[in-house]
A and B are shown apart, each in its own frame.
Chain A
């Protein structure tokens, strides 16, 4: 059974940093693109970042470029998101999401971890 388990969400002050982690199991982690997608009540679902199977390519939504860094450790089946200089509008539930190999879609989602940026 495919499982994605996020951790690291917390309350942080504006300008602060946070590192999210995701542990994958039940599939060959190293063969899939992985993503972070966030959800806010006001803005719905928003793709945040993606990383290629071997980590050689990454992409980010414009609003987080230069502040967030996605990375992976295939030996540990783990995905991370380092978030720096956090802003109030980064407040969201962050999901670790697998991108299907055959299908161009996000086929498995973790349960999500809540990040709240507030003073």
Chain B
């Protein structure tokens, strides 16, 4: 199985500042047939189901604010939240869809400082 490792486990960021979350996969999730990274990011707020934020490592899902951005390739990926808003408080997960089983990172809890 592909192991997804996120860091940090949690972070506290002031309103309006930037939050950066890292995700590392135990093997590459880049598919050479279509030149895409099979890496997604989800936001999970308390009492709600997870929501898809980013797919193909850097493509924002429809309706996701542009302060959310994804980057990286191969085994190393980053989710950046620019200008953190109060409604961004959540746990964020990366997930690979390259191999079976699809696997998630352990999550990063983002709070307001």
Query: A28 at interface (Cβ–Cβ under 8 A)?
Result: no
Range class of the A interface residue count? 20 to 34
Query: B17 at interface (Cβ–Cβ under 8 A)?
Result: no
Inter-chain pairs besides A59-B100, A104-B38, 18 sampled, C-beta below 8 Å: A44-B105, A44-B107, A45-B50, A45-B93, A45-B104, A46-B104, A47-B101, A47-B103, A59-B101, A100-B55, A104-B55, A105-B95, A105-B97, A107-B61, A108-B52, A110-B49, A111-B48, A112-B49
- Inter-chain CA distance A45–B42, complex, in Å, is 10
Most buried by B among A59, A103, A107: A103
Contact B52 A106 (CB under 8 A): yes
Contact A103 B51 (CB under 8 A): no
Query: A11 at interface (Cβ–Cβ under 8 A)?
Result: no
Contact A47 B102 (CB under 8 A): yes
Counted as pairs of residues, one from A and one from B, with CB atoms less than 8 Å apart, the total is 60
Most buried by A among B40, B98, B106: B40
- Inter-chain CA distance A59–B103, complex, in Å, is 13
Query: A32 at interface (Cβ–Cβ under 8 A)?
Result: no
Closest to A95 in B: B49
CB distance from A105 to the nearest CB of B (A): 4
| Residues of B that sit less than 8 Å from A by CB | 36, 38, 40, 42, 44, 48-52, 55-56, 59, 61, 91, 93, 95, 97-98, 100-107
Contact A103 B55 (CB under 8 A): yes
Query: A61 at interface (Cβ–Cβ under 8 A)?
Result: yes
Contact A95 B50 (CB under 8 A): yes
- Inter-chain CA distance A1–B98, complex, in Å, is 28
- Inter-chain CA distance A46–B56, complex, in Å, is 20
Contact A44 B93 (CB under 8 A): yes
- Inter-chain CA distance A92–B104, complex, in Å, is 16
Q: List 9 A-B contacts (CB under 8 A).
A: A44-B91, A44-B106, A47-B103, A100-B55, A103-B40, A104-B56, A104-B97, A105-B97, A107-B52
Contact B49 A111 (CB under 8 A): yes
Most buried by B among A62, A104, A108: A104
CB distance from A23 to the nearest CB of B (A): 15
- Inter-chain CA distance A52–B32, complex, in Å, is 24
